[in-house]
Structure 1
Amino acid sequence: MNIKQDTSEKDLLGAIKKLLKKSGHLEKIQAETRAKVTEILQERQEYLDSGTQRPSAPAPTDAVLLTNELVLEYLQWNGYLYTASVMVSEAAMPAERRKRTELCAEVGVRDDEKSLSLPLLSNIVAAYIERIKRKISKSKRDG
């Protein structure tokens, strides 16, 4: 290859990368690649572990499964779809998601117009912060 051809290829690759980045496709490709690499590494590790005497990882508790569902719902709500896909792969989450109404029942959140405008995790955090503020306010009044 000559210098002119190298420069033309670099310019072309640079322009393609710029277009992919501008359209949002570059991040999607990178996230999908990371998810696939993670999946392959996990499968490889499981294969290697199966030949040893080490026990496999314990099954996640109900609290961990619920937390994973809440985090996943938060990621999807905010449009972090590629991060969510990596999480599903890493956490070995079941393909079937629990419905929002099921999650609400489990965490004791009643959906209304206000709560529907936020992911459940945000509602839980907001309720916790409000509870802390009420406690602080009450202790100042009592003290």
Structure 2
Amino acid sequence: MATMSELKTAVRDTLESRGVLCQLKARIRAEVFGALDDQREPRPLLSHENLLINELIREYLEFNKYRHTASVLTAESGQPEAALDRHFLADELKVSEDASSKSVPLLYGLVSHFRDSGDHRGKVFLRGLHTAPGQEE
């Protein structure tokens, strides 16, 4: 007959091998964050820039199988449950893709573009947002 310690270990190992333990931990974290979140304080409106940034991050997280993290991001940010269309994202960011770039998240392509850019004059000039984060355009 198995001891209680052996039974706990067997259950934990089984849940880990099925991927259930990670799901449970992520769900518990999300519930704890939800309980701590002050629901009386309204969230700022999701700006167009934040919508795009969150979607780039979500695409990266899901590609790398960080699905639990992606679900917490979606819940906390107010991002729509359904992912935005990749073609829409590329159009919004004025990005052209070839067949090989479509196999990885857009964020990889953006990082690669700036890292490997032939422009060695120095830093990239960034402009501020059209609107402050959390405000409608």
Using the size of structure 2 for normalisation, the TM-score is 0.77
Structure 2 unaligned blocks of 5 or more:
123-137
5 Å-filtered alignment, 1:102-113, equals: 102-113=88-99
> Are the structure 2 counterparts of residues 14 and 83 from structure 1 closer, same or farther at C-alpha, using a change threshold of 3 Å?
same
8 A contact 1:28–1:82 mirrored in 2? yes
> In 1, Cα distance between the equivalents of 2:77 and 2:116?
31
Contact 1:38–1:89, Cα closer than 8 Å, also in 2: no
Counterpart check, 1:13 vs 2:8: yes
Q: Which of 20, 24, 45 is 1:25 aligned to?
A: 20
Task: Give a deviation string over 1:91-129, Cα, whole Å, max 9, x none.
Answer: 121223210010010111223211112101111111111
RMSD after superposition: 2.1
Moved over 3 A (4+): none
Aligned length: 122
Deviations 1:46-104 (A, max 9, x none): 13x4xxxxxx4432322111100110011111211111111111112122321001001
Q: Give the counterpart of 1:89 among 75, 80, 105.
A: 75
Larger Rg: 1
Q: CA 1:23 to 1:96, structure 2 compared with 1: closer, same or farther past 3 Å?
A: closer
For structure 1, which runs of at least 5 residues remain unmatched after alignment?
Answer: 50-55
Matching residue within 47, 62, 66 for 2:48? 62
